[in-house]
Structure 1
Amino acid sequence: MTKIILAGVALVLSASVSLAQEVTPQTGDRWYQDGQNTLTEKLARQPNTGRARNIILMISDGNGIATNYATRLFLGQKNGGFGDEAVLPQEKFPYLALVKTYNVNAQTAGSAGSGTALHSGVKTSLGVVGVGEGLRRGDCSQVEANKVKSIVSILDEMGKSVGVISTARLTDATPATAYAHSANRTFEDDSKLPEKCGVKDIADQLLDALKAGTVDIAMGGGRRHFLPKEVTDFEGEAGRRTDGRNLMDEARAAGARVVRDDVEFAALSVSDSAPVLGLFESDHMKYEYDRRAEPSLAEMVGASIKRLQGNENGFFLSVESGRIDHANHDGNLYRALTDGVAFADAVSKAVELTSAQDTLIIVTADHSSALAFNGYCGRGSPITGLCYKINKTGVKHLDTPARAKDGKPYTVAGYLNGKSSVLTKDENFSGSRPVVTQQQASDPDYLQQALIPLSAETHSGADVAVYARGPWAHLLDGTIEQNFIFHVMKYAAEVE
């Protein structure tokens, strides 16, 4: 009887679909056909409930939904299209959700609290690293009692290899939350530690993690926090440490391969099992637009996966594109988007080198930014340029800039706050909104017009997206708390 009922339901559904197709006049429309193809793909989708041998967490710092959309337009327009039809590699993943990013004491999140949520499964306060919400920021005496265990430590204990990559300083907030515990994200070296702190600085904790084998690969910027202030590096930049220790030398003495530029990076052997410490800049790594003698994010991801995947127990890789956030803070949309494309390249590299059968890849952001879109722009308006009028008789925009009530053109995107506020009176701004030309707006150094005058653009409290593929990726759906992402990773690795 049950089989008969099910067969009848299937017949009714099949007939309903056929009838709908027969009576719908737009079946020949390309958008309609695209929708039908997408429906077919989704109907065929089956959740992967196997164990995740490998997990890759990719964090695009400050890459909220608006910046993600702008990056899509930028990539598509670079490839000769209108932009909005482009698809970023993470947007091809089958599962996604919206993520609430707030910290426990902040409606708008900071990277340290968000990174702790992602890596350790708990929400915590603004500015603290790898500790719970019971700690008062800056109080070293409370660190031990409030330590939380990160996914790095958990998966290391399962025998997996671990890598931590960032285009920011390795000791900066987001990457630090993968391996460190600190009362303040600013304690990157000992020069900022309070007297009698009793807790090691973040760079020293990374050295310990490399020595212990908890972290096998660490690559990014931040060389200055590993060198004493009396020492200048090969680029002439002085260290920051006041304890006289050269942590780069100590890492070498412990058997690590320490690399400083793209040449030394390229010389790394995939078969070498020694830990790797890559420190490619004194401060943050260069923006992708300005990159010269250092590896790209995609290159670091590729080399790390190839080096880590030799472990039969699998690996965990935490990847941060840290400088999208910094460009947004500066109001420099062009560099935010070129770094966004570099992040997309890194996602593609991770997809290329792994299988969805045994590798869970999660792509998300730690928080959003205050980027906003202006006006009714015609299709194809350059994302880093002026907003052009809509063409009522064709698809591509008219070659006429849209104008605001002040009679002046405006850009497709701008910031709600920041250093380029149109309300600021100084040598650059007369008190009225300055005129901007297409040539000015499209310059890589152009800073977008902003509204509220602040020393730098701020984060935004808006939700971010998470995209996932691989084992148990289907658990990431709906609207979730940011710390839930950790729990999916942990479950996917431990499930029998």
Structure 2
Amino acid sequence: MLATSRHLRAPLLIVSCLLVQRSAARDTNEGADSWNAAAREELTAALRVRWNEGQARNVVLFVGDGMGPSTVTAARIYRAKEEGRLAFEHFPHVGLLKTYNADRQVPDSASTATALFSGVKGNYKTGGVDQSVQMDDCEASLRPEARLKNMLHWAIEAGKDTGFVTTTRVTHATPSALYAHHANRNWECEQRMPASASRCKDIARQLVEDEPGRSIKVIMGGGRQCLNTNLTLGPSDPLDTWSCRRQDGRELVSAWRQDKEARGLRHAVLANTRDLRQMDVDDTDYVLGIFANGHLMYDFERDKSPDGMPSLKEMTSVAIKVLSKNEKGFFLMVEGGMIDMAHHRGYASRALNETAAMSDAVQEVLDWVRLMDRTDTLVIVTSDHAHALSINGYPARGNDILGVGGRSKADGVPFTTLTYATGDLHAYNYSVGPNGTVVRPDPSTVDTTSFHYHQQAAITSDEAHHAGVDVAVYATGPMAHLFHSLHEQNYVAHVMAYAARLGPYAPSSGARGLPQAGTVLVATVVCALVTFRL
């Protein structure tokens, strides 16, 4: 079946590309024949899709932090107009994920990452632990039975190489759920840990000192201020005031290097784009790339010289080259983390630009799959949660997605196509007018497409908050067809493990046997009948 899928993959990709090229060339005067022809081409491509039921040698999971459905739609228009697609929107298999936590309707990133990676949902702001651990309960997080294994553990146990790449701090919520077990995502370093958590290690120490962190082959992102006590500060690499700063005298980057030297492992510590580009991939097995004190700069503002910070695409490319040397395969998690940061601050333009940058990183992996004929690679793109970004106002087709979308019939003031439900004082931006009326600023008087423009928000708060809506999951490669419906978020880990025969689905796991296609079909039909009767 895998061999057949290899032959069918290329025509499918070609048809998909033709669809985009044709649609991008259309203007707004299409007739019925044009729409019908495009639909027939899309139907032809759909009919050519075949399930790849082979075993996944490699698994690449992209997490667009905060990349909900409205973000994907807006980023698509931002990058490729209404008719276009982002790289992952070509994938043949798509589903939806329910993102609620074990204890919250609207989730945070650490708990949702735990569900994605381990297959078990946890509580708000906890990571790598099950729902028996409440936020801030250090003692509960130390119980072995509460500590979860995930795709990273399972891949290492199977002899595969592992890594993660992020545009946030390497100790931030999403990556921390891969290697740490904690009762509060804010415990990135010791500075913000209360006395009640004295028996717990901070997240940075778990990454460098404990397993599986010590066995991760590729680690790239920011977060030097959580790893090192002594820092060099400057305008191009400021402190992240939203995070802690290590003050206990530890220099964990040096500790990481010393550990690799003591074990005789080929390694490299990277600090900028030059280091990344000059690294000898063939002579390096372990990589620690820490490119910023806090998060990496937004893609639009980062220093693109060799002395600056690398792009997500470039980090992903190097990670693939390092990990693919292992004949047993690899697991890689790539996070577009600054999508979420931009949304929290109310900068829709930055969020869309970061989503487009992640799409470029996805395309880099797809190009590698195609070039190396690695159809045994499962690639998944999803999000941990959405943001309360809306697209509204009936703007004309072709209108700038960051522009003005309409005019309020209540006060006559224009509004932008993109708005937030919540935001900080910069985004709220209302004032009291004559006779106590509320006055909203006119966005048509400023440049709403600027990376520095705050979208208006309906409710003022400390920042723009997460949304609790479902998010999409896109997949291609072995067992990608298992994403086909509305799923619980923790289902993703089970699909990855099943596709690669890892962890609970490994032949040596002692499980009662792997589900077979026919069994799954019968079970699905039975469940549907039961649900219908209920």
Equivalent residue, structure 2, for 1:290: 301
SS at the partner of 1:133? coil
Offset at residue 197 of structure 1 (A): 2.9
1:320, 1:430 → 2: CA distance? 44
Which residue in the other structure is 1:264 paired with?
275
- Structure 1 residue 102, shift from structure 2 partner: 0.5
Distance 1:358 1:243, change over 3 A: same
Query: 3-state SS of the aligned residue for 2:447?
Result: helix
Residue 149 of structure 1: aligned partner: 149
Q: In the alignment, does 2:473 pair up with 1:472?
A: no
> Could you say if the C-alpha distance between residues 64 and 481 of structure 1 is closer, same or farther in structure 2, counting changes exceeding 3 Å?
same
Contact 1:377–1:402, Cα closer than 8 Å, also in 2: no
**Matched residues in 2 for 1:300 and 1:267: separation?**
13
Q: Which letter does structure 1 place at the counterpart of 2:95?
A: A
Maintained 8 Å contact 2:70/2:390? yes
Matched with 1:201 is: 202
Aligned to 1:101: 99
**Does the aligned pair in 2 maintain the 1:224–1:237 contact within 8 Å?**
no
Distance 2:322 2:88 in 1: 23
CA deviation vs aligned residue, 1:80-106 (integer Å, no higher than 9, x gap): xxx110111100000010110000111
Q: For 2:173 and 2:419, locate their aligned partners in 1 and report how far apart those are by CA, in whole Å.
A: 26
Matched, 1:440 2:447: yes
Matched, 1:241 2:276: no
User: What is the percent sequence identity of the aligned residues?
Assistant: 38
Deviation at 1:150, TM superposition (A): 1.4
1:111 to 76, 94, 109: 109
Structure 2 counterparts to residues 305-454 of structure 1, below 5 A: 305-354=320-369, 355=373, 357-387=375-405, 402-419=407-424, 420-422=426-428, 424-425=430-431, 431-437=438-444, 439-454=446-461
**CA–CA distance in structure 2, aligned partners of residues 162 and 168 of structure 1:** 18
- Other structure's SS at 1:252 match: helix
Q: CA deviation at 1:136?
A: 1.7
The alignment status of 1:138 with 2:136, answered yes or no, reads: yes
Native 8 Å contact 1:62 1:366 kept in 2: yes
Mapped partners of 1:114, 1:384: distance in 2: 29
Gap regions ≥5 residues in structure 2 = 1-29, 261-266, 508-534
User: Given residue 104 of structure 1, which amino acid in structure 2 is its aligned partner?
Assistant: A
- Cα distance, 1:44 vs. partner? 2.0
* CA displacement at 1:207 relative to structure 2: 0.8
Deviation at 1:402, TM superposition (A): 4.3
CA contact (8 A) 2:130 2:147 kept: yes
- 1:327-375 Cα deviation digits (max 9, x unpaired): 1111111111111110110110011112462000000000000000221
Q: Which residue pairs with 2:531 in the alignment? A: none
Classify 1:356/1:462 alpha carbon distance in 2 versus 1 (closer, same or farther; 3 Å): farther
User: What is the CA-CA distance between 1:42 and the residue it aligns to?
Assistant: 1.6
The one-letter amino acid of 2:123's match is S
Once the two structures are superposed, the pairs formed by residues 156-235 of structure 1 within 5 Å of their partners are: 156-195=156-195, 197-208=198-209, 213-228=214-229, 231-233=230-232, 235=234
Flag the structure with higher helix content: 2
Given the superposition, is the C-alpha separation of residues 156 and 233 from structure 1 closer, same or farther in structure 2, using an over 3 Å criterion? same
Contact 1:57/1:362 (8 A) holds in 2 = yes
Q: 1:356 & 1:403 partners in 2: Cα distance?
A: 52
Alignment-derived partner of residue 7 in structure 1:
none
**Change beyond 3 A, Cα 1:157–1:303:** same
Tell me how far 1:183 sits from its aligned partner. 1.1
TM-superposed CA distance for 1:214, in Å, is 2.4
CA contact (8 A) 1:152 1:214 kept: no
TM-score (norm 1): 0.86
Q: Distance in 2 between matches of 1:221 and 1:197?
A: 26
**Residue 102 of structure 1 aligns to a residue in which SS?**
coil
Supply the distance in 1 between the matched residues of 2:451 and 2:393 (Cα, whole angstroms). Answer: 22
**Counterparts of 1:237 and 1:333 in 2: how far apart (Å)?**
22
Query: Once the 2 structures are TM-superposed, how far is the Cα of residue 244 of structure 1 from its aligned partner?
Result: 1.2
Aligned residues of 2:268 and 2:284 also touching (Cα < 8 A): no
Conserved? CA contact 1:356–1:471, under 8 Å: no
Considering only aligned residues, what root-mean-square deviation do their CA atoms show, in Å?
A: 2.2
**Counterpart contact for 1:180–1:202, Cα < 8 Å:** yes
2:60 is matched with which residue: 23, 36, 56?
56
The range that moved more, 256-265 or 162-171, is 256-265
Letter in 2 for 1:441: T
- Cα contact 1:220–1:280 (8 A) shared by 2: yes
Structure 2 residue matching 1:49: 3-state secondary structure: coil
Consecutive unaligned residues of structure 1, counting only runs of 5 or more, are 1-25, 77-82, 388-400
